[in-house]
Amino acid sequence: MVLRFWGVRGVDAESFAHLVDRRAGGIRTTDLLKDLERRGWAGVAASGTEARLADEINRNGRPVLVLLEDRPRAYHYVVVVGAPERGFIFHDPARTSYRVLSRDEFVARWRPASMWMALIAPRPATSPADVPVSAGAGAATACDEMVAEGVHFAQSGDYAVAEGRLTSALACPGGAAYRELAGLRAVQKRWSDAASLAETAVSADASDAYAWRLLATARFLEDQRPGGSAFVIGEAGLTTAMHEAGYTLTERDADYVVLGETRTYSFERLTRAIRLIGEGARFIATNPDATGPHPDGPLPATGSVAALISRATGVDPYFVGKPNPLMMRSALNAIEAHSEETAMIGDRMDTDIISGLEAGLETILVLTGSTQRDAAERFPFRASRIVDSVGDLVADLG
């Protein structure tokens, strides 16, 4: 799995079966590193610490090979791919595709192996600090393919294959695989796993606008009615956030109907939402965007579907996401920033730019999405700057 991070395909546990030493009860650490060296890889072994392992995962974004005690005086290798605050997420071929352990339990199993860990990278790197986080276009393409395949199989209902694809992609940079696997776990109602994976996904990509909407919605409902119930229409990430906020997901007698973005809207679920609102459920929506961009043309988004429900019920939703200042305050608090030193970058005047303006931020409109330059001139408010793409801002960040 470590090699997959660098874009290598067709390598699995069987590729190292010839190294098994029956007298040692497995593969010796020295033999494994020597074999990797022969294959053209550099392995840096060390006696690790909990802090160093978490730092390597969270700061450098690279998976780490670790030796854990399986049972007294018997050990096996695992690949640590995530380090949320509450534990470690690791690929464990001896048990299942991946597991989640609390940090105390993980360290208790790691300590008998002298807390051995190894960082694997292409030669000529001799230190983990020498290896760039990005493995280049080959690795990125392989990672994107695995995530896309996982999503495809999940949407087709083949959860076992989807899990295999997404688990393989956990070693890749970024949070896409974690986000999609969290969604799969939420669909399977494996809430503890879903929460851990979702936490790692958000940590990996703080610019994920969808994740911010999920968090803003969950925090609002947690504050308004702690421990309430909700009927949710949206992607699995939204249901995960609702669960983390302590909400019970239900299809009857719901306190709230919560509408978010999704790739497909079910007529049956929309009908259920309309009936629940008619019975007294409060109506919440994540964002008012009427459409979203797509290469083939605009797609209906949350705002359009919310309008359908409103027309059928006579009840307007409360939009928690942009341009609601609540979301901007939540975001500023989360990153511990002040409005005077923060900028809002977005591609919509009616949500992104107005939300930044009302929060007192510098606003930058990028012309890669919904609002184009001529349309921006028709709004009664203006962005601080208009640029063709975020690439035009690189010099400012340097």
- For each of the domains in the chain, give its residue range(s) and CATH number, in order of start: 1-205 (3.90.70.10), 209-319 (3.40.50.1000), 325-397 (3.40.50.1000)
Q: How far apart are CA 216 and CA 329, in angstroms?
A: 9
Question: Which residues of 38-115 form beta strands (DSSP E)?
Answer: 41-47, 64-71, 74-82, 87-92, 96-102
pLDDT of residue 207: 61
Question: Positive or negative, the Cα torsion across 113, 119, 122, 123?
Answer: negative
**Highest mean pLDDT (candidates 116-120, 133-137, 153-157, 373-377):** 373-377
Contact yes or no for 133/63 (Cβ under 8 A) = no
Q: Which helix (H) or strand (E) holds 122?
A: strand 116-122
Pairwise pLDDT comparison (97 vs 150), residue with the higher score: 150
Model confidence pTM above 0.95: no
Q: pLDDT category, 206, cuts 50, 70, 90? A: low
Q: pLDDT category, 314, cuts 50, 70, 90? A: very high
Q: How far apart are CA 198 and CA 245, in angstroms?
A: 13
Q: Which residue has the tokens 């605009």?
A: 298
Polymer length in residues for the chain: 398
Say whether 229 sits in a helix, a strand or coil. Answer: strand
Pairwise pLDDT comparison (397 vs 126), residue with the higher score: 397
- Integer Rg of the chain from CA: 24
For 114, 152, 159, 192, 299, the CA distances from 105, given in Å and listed in that order, are 15, 35, 28, 16, 46
Displacement of CA 290 from its chain's centroid (Å): 24
pLDDT of residue 132: 38
Lowest mean pLDDT of 88-97, 184-193, 315-324, name the range: 184-193
Q: pLDDT category, 126, cuts 50, 70, 90? A: very low
Q: How far apart are CA 318 and CA 316, in angstroms?
A: 7
DSSP 322-385: TT-HHHHHHHHHHTT--GGG-EEEES-IIIIIHHHHHTT-EEEEETTSS--HHHHTTSSS--SE
Q: pLDDT category, 128, cuts 50, 70, 90? A: very low
Q: How buried is residue 31: exposed, middle or buried, by Cβ count under 10 Å (0-12/13-18/19+)?
A: middle
